[in-house]
């Protein structure tokens, strides 16, 4: 049973990408065993307003799962991702985004159904906006969402390979970006954005 439980935790999702979920309390007399986990995360996000999917370079998830309660917690780390956007007054530009976690990922593993649900909380940082062909960054280093994004993603663990998880989220307005703040807020913030991640056992 313990071997099976460890395998099920491979389905934990992102990363990408947290609301904390209630878990059953463990016995105060006997602590439930926990298992350390480490996975490679291949994530992507579809930005609704831009109608385009941004592929994030491989990241990692490192955490633990409680074999008694199914409680899952850990840290999701994803590298910056770059995509091409069209901005009024700028034209085509390369925009680089970074997800900055504001709290650990929290969730649950249902050992009966193999369903994993997790929530991640992070700020979206716009670290650079460079007009194509010009080595100029048009945004300030403080450019970020006004408040953290919360995304809950779920999926079923697969014994045959990588486990895929997904969820929708809303991007809050961007602030402290400099002169480009109004243009960025026309094409990035809003509801209906999709987050998808594959979790595979890592070394």
CA distance 186 to 175: 12
Structural domain harbouring 146: 2-201
Q: What average pLDDT does the chain have?
A: 83
Q: pLDDT (tens digit, 9 = 90+) per residue, 75-134?
A: 999 999 998 888 877 788 899 999 999 999 999 999 899 899 999 999 999 999 999 878
- Of the given ranges (13-22, 91-100, 180-189), which has the lowest mean pLDDT? 13-22
72 CB contacts (<8 Å, ≥6 apart)? 9, 12, 63, 64, 65, 66, 105, 106, 107, 108, 109, 116, 118
Residue 142, SS3?
A: coil
Write down the pTM of the prediction.
Answer: 0.77
Question: Beta-strand (E) ranges in 11-146?
Answer: 34-47, 52-55, 59-66, 71-77, 81-87, 91-109, 115-131, 144-145
Query: What's the number of domains the chain is made of?
Result: 1
Q: What share of the chain is helix, strand, coil (3-state, %, to 5)?
A: 10, 55, 35
């Amino acid at each position: 049973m313990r071997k099976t439980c460890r395998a099920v935790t491979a389905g934990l999702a992102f990363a990408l990408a947290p609301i904390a979920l209630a878990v059953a309390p463990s016995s105060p007399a006997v602590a439930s065993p926990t298992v350390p986990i480490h996975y490679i995360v291949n994530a992507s996000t579809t930005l609704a307003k831009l109608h385009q999917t941004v592929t994030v370079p491989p990241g990692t998830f490192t955490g633990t799962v409680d074999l008694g309660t199914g409680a899952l917690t850990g840290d999701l780390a994803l590298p910056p991702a770059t995509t091409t956007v069209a901005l009024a007054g700028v034209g085509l530009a390369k925009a680089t985004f970074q997800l900055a976690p504001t709290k650990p990922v929290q969730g649950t593993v249902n050992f009966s159904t193999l369903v994993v649900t997790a929530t991640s909380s992070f700020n979206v940082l716009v670290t650079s906006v460079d007009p194509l062909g010009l080595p100029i960054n048009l945004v300030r280093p403080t450019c970020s969402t006004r408040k953290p994004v919360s995304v809950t993603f779920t999926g079923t663990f697969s014994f045959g390979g990588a486990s895929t998880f997904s969820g929708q989220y809303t991007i809050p307005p961007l602030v402290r970006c400099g002169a480009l703040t109004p243009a960025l807020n026309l094409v990035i913030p809003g509801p209906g954005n999709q987050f998808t991640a594959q979790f595979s056992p890592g070394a």
